[in-house]
Amino acid sequence: MSTFEERYGQLTDLVDGAEEDLMKFYEKGNKAAGTRARKSLMELKKLAHEMRQEIQEIKNNDL
């Protein structure tokens, strides 16, 4: 299992990485940046799901 710091670091790295593409898409209408942003957001969704499962597993094992 990962530590909080590792998981949180992964989460913030994904958000930070998507920021530039999101700005390019929304502010300049760059369609390629929109595609990259969608990919980053899908990775963020996947990581969030994994973290939710990990949290639930830890919570259930502690009871």
Q: What pTM did the predictor assign?
A: 0.80
pLDDT tens profile 9-27: 999 999 999 999 999 999 9
Is residue 63 one of the residues assigned to a domain? Answer: no
Q: Which two tokens stand for residue 49?
A: 């799901």
> Which residue segment(s) compose the domain that 29 sits in?
4-57
Task: Tell me the mean pLDDT in the region 20-35.
Answer: 96
Number of domains forming the structure of the chain: 1
pLDDT tens profile 39-56: 999 999 999 999 999 999
Torsion of CA 17, 52, 7, 57, to 10 degrees: -160
Is residue 51 one of the residues assigned to a domain? Answer: yes
- C-alpha to C-alpha distance for 25 and 46, rounded to whole angstroms: 22
- C-alpha to C-alpha distance for 57 and 38, rounded to whole angstroms: 29
Is residue 62 one of the residues assigned to a domain? Answer: no
